[in-house]
Every structure is written in C-alpha cells, then in structure tokens.
Structure 1
C-alpha cells in the first residue's frame, strides 16, 4: 500500500489507462510532468513492462525526467526496491519492469529497443513530427496494451502537436477544438485522453510563483498565454494581423463587386528547398483590400516543367511580375511566350514591400490557396538576441509573400496619413 497526496485535478488521470494516447498540455508549474512520472512508476509496480522516456536531446534527461522519477521513488520510500541507475540512466523494478531513456538526437539507438509498451514523450512539441511517427513504430508488444503519454507546454498552432491532436487548418482536419479542452479541462475522444492544467491546479506551489506568472501579462503577453493560461496560439508578433481566409466562392463574389479592380500576378522562383510560388491577386484600391484567389506552389521543378504547368498564362496574356534576381529564368519564360518582367529591387526593398502589404486594411485569401494560408496566416517576425523584432525577417521563408511583393511592384497603397498615391497598371 502506497499513500501519496496528489493534486485533485490529476487524481482520475493517475489511474486512467483506457486510451492509447494521453496528451497533457498546460502552463508552467501545473505539475503535469510530476503526475506523469508518478503514474508511470505506479504502472511499473503493477505490471511487468518496459517503458521508454523520450526527449529531443538525450542529455537533458538527467536533470529533468530521470531526476524527477528518482525523486518520486525516494519520496515513496521505494529506493530499496526500485534501483535508479545513472549510467546508463535506467530504473529497474522488483517485478522485472524497467524504464529506459532515449533521445531523438540519437535515433540509431531507438532501433535496438524491443517490447516497449509505454512511451512518455516529455516536451513533445520539441520533437519533430517524423520522430513522433518513428516512436509509434517502436511502440509494440505481443500481449500488453500500448500507451503513449505526451506532455508539453503549449506552443504555436503551427506546431505538429496542435495539428495532430487538435486541428490542421490546411487540411481541414479537426480532432478536438482546443477551446473545448480549456473549458472542460479533460476530454476523451479518438482514443486520446486530453488533460489541461495550469499553476492553479498545483496546490503545492507558493503564491509568489503564481504572482510571478501573473506579472507576465504586463510585459510579455505571448509568454503569459503559454505559461499562465496554458493555451496554444501564435508565438510572436504577426506580420499580417489583417489576414483572413474565406471560402473561394465568397472571395470570387467579392471580387466581382470591386469597382475598377486591379489584377496582379506575382512569382517567386525556387527549386530544391524553396518553391516556385505564383499568386493571382485583385486589388480593391478604394476599400484598400487585397484579394488572393489562385496559387501555384511547387518545388524541384525545372523551368520547362513549370512552364507547362503555367501554360494558361500564355493564353490569358496576364503579366507575371517575377523575382528580378533570376534574369535567366525570366528570359526563358519570355522566349516561351509568357508576358513576364522582373520586379524592382533596391536597398531596403524587403522592408518597403512588407510595409506596403501591411497597409492594406484587409487581406482576404481564398481557401483554395492552402500554401498561402499556411505561410501568411501565422507569419511572425524574427527577433534578435535581445528579443526585438527584425522588421524584414520572418520565422519562416514565406515564398508566397515574396510572390505578393513582386506582383505588387509599382503599386502603392494609399498612405494612411493622406499622402499621394501612385497606381501603375
């Protein structure tokens, strides 16, 4: 008989093994990792199993998961029965159960693991999606029920954990609305036990710690959302907060109602890691709205293959304004019968183009343009070592944004201060 006082919000979780996946997300100090470790030890004592504990970097186990498990073993008075071995890190139980530790930075060592029936992925948002799928393949046992425990602080909605366990706007896949979890605190669906927690759920925390988390609200709202509220969201300052996605039919209907529409096409070149990105746009100059209704987005395509894909532009005679850094490619397309020219580039053009796009009151994108949505909806600024934003650098390389820059070459949105406007068609 083991007696241990635990936080009430975790009592049901400790003994619920009804699902294959158990996904715990929460703010700082919520005690989610502690209760996963306790749950794991109790299960190892009950059944003869091999459990695998994983972090992205192996060496981080020693001061986190291994240290936590060892602390609980001592606290439960089990140090005489459960051996905590430090080299290699391992916990051995009297019934033959064992807990082993691996890092995704050494994937070759995962291949030698056999009969693992439980995996705990700590800070799972730091593990790559490919690594998560690799771990699923390592979770196998001929007789025992399989379980994977995943714990994390919430990160951006572009992280694979959010897309896999909640919703992926790009594909339209919806498993669970995260706001439903924040409201209900625990949800069981799709063979997954979801659990949300905050520092308020940890009755053993000093009030000074919670007060410290509350202070984040005043000077770091992003970290406040993560650390205090335990909510997913957009990490960083969005470049285009006015970006919206609409059903394609609604976008086209709105475009039909634009008085004196300005049609533009922009193209960014890419091949190996970057992409050939083409966007069709319509500008509502009076309302200061940019509509994006068509995209082309492919990589590892030679110019001749891309030219075949874009054959319709030869028939429509639309002018494509492309990246002037590729004059050879532009000349090739022109020889193939395309109307194409290079966009102007100058010192500071990245910043100038970014500011230009930001001046639109609305940027409305058709849902038929999934790559544009993926890149621009949550596009955030890069920051320097002191946390200051870099106004012409972003956390990803948004090829569709570059295509928009080029397509808008020669056009100026009205100066919000009432300055002059030039519109070159």
Structure 2
C-alpha cells in the first residue's frame, strides 16, 4: 500500500520494518500484543491505524487508557509521530480540547477516552462512518475485565463489507495472574526459541484472536546504545530482563499476602457454627477509583478468614451505595468505611445505614493492618473475582534506585485491600483500648 502526498510517496515496509506482517494483515476481532520495552508494538500500532483510517473510508478509532490524561504523552503523541512518518500530518487536524484527531478529507476521527470517566465511554458516536476499531494502550492497567467487556460490547451493529470490527491491545506484561493471560494467552504455545532469536512469538492465530509476544529483538531501529541497556539488564537483573527484555509474564515479586486459596464454601453453614465475626469494609471511589465493598467471616481462634462477598464499581453516588448495601441485606450490619469520606459516611448513617462508621487510619495503620491480616489463613469464594485479582497483585513497593523492597505496599490493586483492612479494625482494637489511643498501637 502507498500513500500519496502531492507526488511524494512513502514505502510502508521501510517505515514499519520487519516482524509485524501477521499483526498488520490480521482482521479478526481481538489482536493483542504483549512485549518488552523497545519492541515497537505501540509504534507499529499507531502506523497501522493512521494508514488504515486513510485507506478505509468510514472507519473510526476509539483509543482507551485507564486514565484519560495519560493519552497526551503516549497515544496522542505516538499517533502524531505516525502521521509525520507517513508524511500526512498536514491532512489531519489534531486538537487537545476536545482531544481528538480528524482526517480532513473525509471527517473520520480518532477519539480518546479514559476508564476514569465511564459516562463518556458509553456514549460515543461519530458523525462520519462507523466506530469499528478500539485500541487499548497499556492494557495491563485495566484491572477489571468487566471494564473491557463493556467497551467490547459497545462495538456492535452492521458495518459495510469493506470494514471490520477489531479491538487491539498493547501492553508490557507483569504478573501472570492478570485476567488477560487467562482469557487470551493461555494456549500452551510458548515458542521461546523464536522469541529469543527473532524477537516475536505467535501464541494464537485464528479467526477470532491473534496474540503475540514481541521484544527489542524485533526492533531493527534500535541503535547500539539502546541494545547495551538490554544487555546490561540481562546481566545485572535477570528477573527484570525476563519481563522488560524478553516480554514474558512475571510472577509478582514481593507478594504481601500468600496464605490464601480460592475455595467454594457454604456461607450459611459457616454462620451456623457461630464461631465467626462478620466484618464489612467500604472504600469510597468515584471517577478514577471504584467504590469497593468487602465482606468476610473471621475466626479469631482458628485464625481463618472466609471472604464471601464483594462489590467493585466506579461512578457510584452515595444513594447508589445505600441502595447496594440495602439490596445485599447489609443495612443493619456494622460497616467500617474510609474516614477520608466523612461527609458520605454521615449521609449514609442518616439515610438507612445506621451502623456505618469511619476507620481510624492512624499513623502506620496500613502496615499494622497488613501484619494483622497476615496472621490468618484466607479462603476466598470464587465469585469474589476482583478481590482475587487484587490479592494476587498487591505487592511491596520497590525503591526505583536500589531495587530493594520498601516497607509499604504499592499504590495499586488496593481498593478492596484497603476496605478489607478497615473491616477488621474492630478486631485490632484490643479490649479496653479506645479509638483515640489506637494511634499509639500503630506507631
């Protein structure tokens, strides 16, 4: 394919480079590429979309990241670079307010959205043609599979025969426990030999799904100084190189909770035993973070916790939270909630949730709560999918300079983890110790 610009031509194979032929020609529903750094996966994806929007009349693209503001320095910039590489920048109008790109000859658009604004995600329309393509950049950051499913389902309806619907995902892999691996990459095909020699391995390639792993060896545009970075990483930090260099899945290093398992159990039978205390915790969220509710039974004697229910949703107003708690039958239960939302707690208390109270959250309360929960064996009901995702990926933070673990958790995968800590605060408050004195325990 050639793109004409006033008698000036660009030769795509020269610009795109090698190794991505299968990716470039694939037209199935899902096209996912994980890989190490410097593998040109995002670069190639941006080129593909600019070239194909210009080639296929009536096609439009939605670009999604977890946080909207991160588009500016990533996908928005990458697509502008692609336009310049293809020498068609003058044919596009790129604006940041609203953030969109318009192909001037036809009016086709590239639209940018973030999962931190769910209302804008679900109400996307285009003036010209059809919204047939979605690009999830840094797809690994999408912790909740339901967020992906909602957008996937929104790409529906009849389209002309010259177009096709497709969702593209690009990301750097990390924990092998992510839902992306189980859903798209668990094929049993590793092909590590090609990944090491050629920088690319294809795991699945059928009518519905193409999944690939690429790494820096697939990028012929890297110079010697770039390659030296990877050689040094391989020598000095093999574990990091396996993920960031080779592009393979990793296992979360420094897991905070490890004495847990997924297990079916009958909640009614457990309650009948009368050996458990019911603990409910609530972490507020709205646009960027979800509201997270967690429910568990705690046996202080046997040191066992059974996590039996959860809720995990963005965009919830106080009335929505109230209705949810009432619907689940917890309106008369004691619920410990994030004290940062004192106004919301008072509103809920006055409107039908009388036993909700604020967590103390004193100095070092995060570490103290973690240490307390680490003393228990945890059983998680399979329906608590978001809790399982978080507990798998909740790890100790690492000093970026030294690579050593810090005595604090990462600020991710922690919405249900925080609610869980709040829920057991009443058990941590020893008999006879007031909430005001709790701060001395946590120091």
TM-score (norm 2): 0.60
Provide Cα deviations, 1:72-108, integer angstroms capped at 9, x if missing partner: x2xxxxx5xx56435345557xxx7786433226959
**Residues 177 and 130 of structure 1, relative CA distance in 2, 3 Å threshold:** closer
Q: Distance in 2 between matches of 1:303 and 1:37?
A: 41
Q: Distance in 1 between matches of 2:346 and 2:407?
A: 31
**Residues 91 and 122 of structure 1, relative CA distance in 2, 3 Å threshold:** farther
> Alignment partner for residue 216 of structure 2, among 189, 199, 205?
199
> Alignment partner for residue 245 of structure 2, among 209, 216, 228?
228
Q: Number of residue pairs matched? A: 366
> Alignment partner for residue 238 of structure 1, among 247, 251, 255?
255
CA contact (8 A) 1:267 1:321 kept: yes
Alignment of 1:98-247 (within 5 A): 100-104=109-113, 111-116=125-130, 119=133, 121=135, 123-125=137-139, 129=147, 133=151, 136-137=154-155, 141-154=159-172, 163=179, 165-167=180-182, 174-177=183-186, 180=189, 185-189=202-206, 191-216=208-233, 224=241, 226-232=243-249, 237-240=254-257, 242-247=258-263
Alignment of 1:51-66 (within 5 A): 51-52=60-61, 54=63, 56=68, 59-60=72-73, 63-66=77-80
- Corresponding position of 1:267: 280
Q: Distance in 2 between matches of 1:306 and 1:40?
A: 45
CA contact (8 A) 1:323 1:406 kept: no
**What runs of 5+ residues in structure 1 fail to find an aligned partner?**
74-78, 168-173, 256-260, 314-319, 412-425
Deviation of 1:394 (Å): 4.4
- Corresponding position of 1:12: 22
Q: Distance in 2 between matches of 1:303 and 1:199?
A: 48
- Corresponding position of 1:85: 91
- Corresponding position of 1:415: none
Q: Distance in 1 between matches of 2:360 and 2:137?
A: 45
Describe the SS at the equivalent of 2:20. helix
Deviation of 1:280 (Å): 0.8
Is 1:377 matched with 2:372? no
**Residues 353 and 179 of structure 1, relative CA distance in 2, 3 Å threshold:** farther
Describe the SS at the equivalent of 1:101. strand
Provide Cα deviations, 1:168-216, integer angstroms capped at 9, x if missing partner: xxxxxx4542774675534125712222211122233234323313544
**What runs of 5+ residues in structure 2 fail to find an aligned partner?**
2-10, 95-100, 193-200, 313-319, 432-443
Larger displacement relative to structure 2 (45-54 or 186-195): 45-54
Is 1:31 matched with 2:37? no
Q: Distance in 2 between matches of 1:13 and 1:321?
A: 50
Is 1:403 matched with 2:407? no
**Residues 222 and 263 of structure 1, relative CA distance in 2, 3 Å threshold:** farther
Describe the SS at the equivalent of 2:130. coil
CA contact (8 A) 1:343 1:406 kept: no
> Alignment partner for residue 295 of structure 2, among 255, 278, 288?
278
**Residues 52 and 278 of structure 1, relative CA distance in 2, 3 Å threshold:** closer
RMSD of aligned alpha carbons:
5.4
Q: Distance in 1 between matches of 2:234 and 2:80?
A: 33
Alignment of 1:37-76 (within 5 A): 37-40=46-49, 43=52, 47-48=56-57, 50-52=59-61, 54=63, 56=68, 59-60=72-73, 63-71=77-85, 73=86
Describe the SS at the equivalent of 2:321. coil
Deviation of 1:231 (Å): 3.8
TM-score (norm 1): 0.62
Alignment of 1:387-398 (within 5 A): 389=406, 391=408, 394-395=411-412, 396-398=414-416
